[in-house]
Amino acid sequence: MEILVLQGPNLNLIGVQSAQAGERITLDKINKELRRHAHSVSLEIQLRFLQTHKAEKAVSFIQRNRKKAQGIIFAPTSWGRYEYSILDAMNLSDVSRVQVILDDPYSSLNKSDSIFTPICNETVVGHPLSVFNSALDTLLKHIS
């Protein structure tokens, strides 16, 4: 089973925000924890990651993998307010989708603010080190 993990703008700099909050969180730590969690759930889960600032890369990632993947975990960050080209690509892909929104101080995006909320199976909100694991668990319920 292939799961796409699409992480939006500035998540590569989450370490800067976490340092200001007195934590030591990096995107690499988040992704390693998600890989560990996926492996503990099932050896058959393959995660394919992309973190980008560019909407066209995100659209290509979705389009290129739409027939292979069973689901998408999507952390839109600032795209959640305005990136309609990604919204269109998501709508054209026939896969289950779970949106990830990070708690303050890591994000100012709210579930109700995101243009992706209506097209996602669910939205999970939480701390960066645990919310992606919750998103995977939620996504697997929609795939099964």
Task: State if pTM tops 0.75.
Answer: yes
Read off the pLDDT band of 123 (50, 70, 90): very high
**What is residue 41's predicted lDDT score, i.e. its pLDDT?**
92
Sign for the pseudo-dihedral over CA of 122, 95, 109, 18: positive
Q: Please write the tens of the pLDDT for every residue from 24-49.
A: 889 999 999 999 999 999 989 999 99
CATH architecture of the domain 2-143 equals 3-Layer(aba) Sandwich (3.40)
Q: Which residues contact 99 (CB under 8 A, 6 or more apart)?
A: 74, 75, 76, 80, 111, 114, 116, 117, 120, 122, 123, 124, 135
pLDDT of residue 138: 97
Domain spans of the chain?
2-143
Listed residue (4, 119, 120) closest to 64, CA to CA: 4
Confidence of residue 104 (pLDDT cuts 50, 70, 90): confident
pLDDT digits over 126-135, tens only?
Answer: 999 999 999 9
Q: 12-26, 43-57, 74-88: lowest mean pLDDT where?
A: 12-26
